Amino acid sequence: MEKIRKGDTVVVAKGRDRGKVGPVIKVIISSQKALVDGVNIYKKQIKPSKKYPQGGIIDMSQPIPVSNLRIICPNCKKMTKARFKNLGKEKRRVCINCKEILDVTNVNAK
């Protein structure tokens, strides 16, 4: 169970993209990195192919270390870290600031 999950809105806390906000597209658990939309953009040269008939230079998002990201709480709208709390037989992520549950499924139900 990871603290940052796909679909979370995060802000970059460290690095050259500090302050940028975006949704998490993919989490790579083995390398402790996450792919965030619009953050850590690099240019890549592409040869002509069926997908890119012109070829050329395109912008690509690269994974960023999870330690450089902070979750934005959907309840209090503040930058926060996640803590785990046992609720009966379930283990949930909880915001440090407002003590509300961070899981996307529970936020939409309220």
Q: Which two tokens stand for residue 78?
A: 């503040």
75 vs 110, which has greater pLDDT? 75
Read off the pLDDT of residues 44-59 as tens digits, 9 standing for 90 and up.
999 999 998 999 999 9
Given this model, what pLDDT does residue 104 score? Answer: 57
Return the domain boundaries, the chain: 1-72, 74-110
What confidence tens digit (pLDDT) does each residue in 3-17 have?
899 999 999 999 999
CA distance 82 to 100: 10
> CATH class for domain 1-72?
mainly beta
Residue 79: left if φ>0, alpha if ψ -120 to 50, beta else—which one?
A: beta
